Structure 1
Amino acid sequence: MGTNDRAPGRPRSREADAAILDAALELLIERGAEAVSIEQVARRAGVTRATVYRRFPDKTRLLIAAVEAAYGDPPQTPEIRDVEHLLAGWAYVLANPRQRRLLRRLYGAIEDNPELARAYHDRFGRHRDQARRDVLERARARGQLPADTDLDVLLDLLTGAVWQHLAVRPDTSTTDDVEQFLRAVLHQAGYRPTAHQQHTADDNQ
């Protein structure tokens, strides 16, 4: 059988990978983690359940892979240059309506599917939180944050602000809207960017 003589309706391996991840992500956003099943994903992707299971032995790993694919498969530990870079990254995600819906579903998984929430945090969340904490620590060392800043509390404050924005602000928020919101939170915590950073931030608005 030649490379083009495949059965109709059965995508090639790479196409199947993409179809499975896309279907899992769509179902997660539409219904929430608890309501998603391997059978539903297979049906929507146009593949058999066996095809899904060969790639992902359980639903948790499938959904984690789908979420990471939606974020462009970023590294486990992101490279964040400084606080301004951190703000820009969060603003970019929170200004995307589809990403906002996905984040709300992930937040809901803490109650509805704790296994998924725990697995995602163990694999990615801890590393990313540490990268953010390191950025805040460097900012404190530069004098951009008060010397007595509790970095863990500040990180919790920022994370809470992200969820607050998801809960009460419209999904039509722009990147500038989100960045101004998060910057106001940091300002209340005593963050003062350097003159160069402030000039760059003003130019980008």
Structure 2
Amino acid sequence: MPGRPRSLEADAAILAAALDLLLERGIEATSIEQVARRAGVTRATVYRRFADKTQLLVATVEAACGSPPAAPEIRDVEHLLTGWSYALADPRQRRLLRRLYAATDDLPELATAYRTRFGEHRDQARRQVFARARDRGQLPADTDPDVLLDVLTGAVWQHLGSRPDTSTPADVERFLRAVLHHAGYRPEGRGDATH
């Protein structure tokens, strides 16, 4: 036997404590010692699982985001709008996204890990949705899916930084729909764009 198995309860308590501290205080103010104290375990217990704070926070973000499919299924622009609207109406998710944005400078490894594990596949699926919408005539024929994704992602960050965390899914959807409208999105389409 390789030794005593790790406590699943301790694992969960450590990740929950790390997430709470990250949301409340930010990356810089979250330490292994504080996580251990809040989780009710020793620092050694945390270090047996994570070599340093970076590894702990990467695991924390991965646990908080769950296990999304490698290639998420986004049916169309309306489905994309609904999904983003519900995600951005969750106050904890909003705070987590702002903390991850700050990680670009404060802890680039964390931002890179989030982008690699969650961002790249989602972005590719979103680009494909925009390309299909363009081909159906719901977006102007000269729409560049990469540029439109950048515009919509910028709008998301604008919403996170300028709107209250009490925003409802309907509030967020109105905001994002207005951005897409100005980019030429028309849900009803304009016929087959190939003719």
* 2:131–2:145 Cα contact (<8 Å) kept: yes
Paired AA for residue 170 in structure 2: D
Q: 2-side partners of 1:78 and 1:61: how far apart?
A: 25
Closer/same/farther in 2, CA of residues 82 and 104 from structure 1, 3 Å limit: same
- Structure 2: state its 5+ residue gaps: 1-5, 190-195
Structure 2 length-normalised TM: 0.86
Closer/same/farther in 2, CA of residues 54 and 77 from structure 1, 3 Å limit: farther
Structure 1 length-normalised TM: 0.82
Question: How much has 1:180 moved relative to structure 2?
Answer: 0.7
Alignment of 1:38 with 2:45, yes or no, is no
Q: 2-side partners of 1:152 and 1:86: how far apart?
A: 15
Show CA shifts across 1:98-151 (max 9, x none): 211111111111122222112222232222211211221221222211111011
The residue number in structure 2 matching 1:83 is: 77
SS in structure 1 at match of 2:28: helix
The residue number in structure 2 matching 1:116 is: 110
* 1:77–1:124 Cα contact (<8 Å) kept: no
**Aligned residue among 188, 192, 195 for 2:186:** 192
The residue number in structure 1 matching 2:51 is: 57
Runs of 4+ in 1 over 4 A off after TM superposition: none
Q: 2-side partners of 1:69 and 1:88: how far apart?
A: 23
Paired AA for residue 158 in structure 1: L
- Structure 1: state its 5+ residue gaps: 1-11, 196-205
Alignment of 1:74 with 2:68, yes or no, is yes
* 2:61–2:114 Cα contact (<8 Å) kept: no
Q: How high is the sequence identity, in percent, across the aligned residues?
A: 78
The number of aligned residues is 184
Paired AA for residue 112 in structure 2: R
Closer/same/farther in 2, CA of residues 181 and 73 from structure 1, 3 Å limit: same
The residue number in structure 2 matching 1:8 is: none
Question: How much has 1:170 moved relative to structure 2?
Answer: 1.3
Show CA shifts across 1:157-203 (max 9, x none): 000000101111111111001001101100111111138xxxxxxxx
SS in structure 1 at match of 2:20: helix
Paired AA for residue 104 in structure 2: I
The residue number in structure 1 matching 2:123 is: 129
* 1:97–1:172 Cα contact (<8 Å) kept: yes
1:11-22 matched pairs, under 5 angstroms:
13-22=7-16
* 1:37–1:59 Cα contact (<8 Å) kept: yes
The residue number in structure 2 matching 1:96 is: 90
Question: How much has 1:83 moved relative to structure 2?
Answer: 1.1
The residue number in structure 2 matching 1:182 is: 176
* 1:68–1:74 Cα contact (<8 Å) kept: no
SS in structure 1 at match of 2:105: helix
**Aligned residue among 83, 96, 107 for 2:101:** 107
Q: 1-side partners of 2:118 and 2:93: how far apart?
A: 17
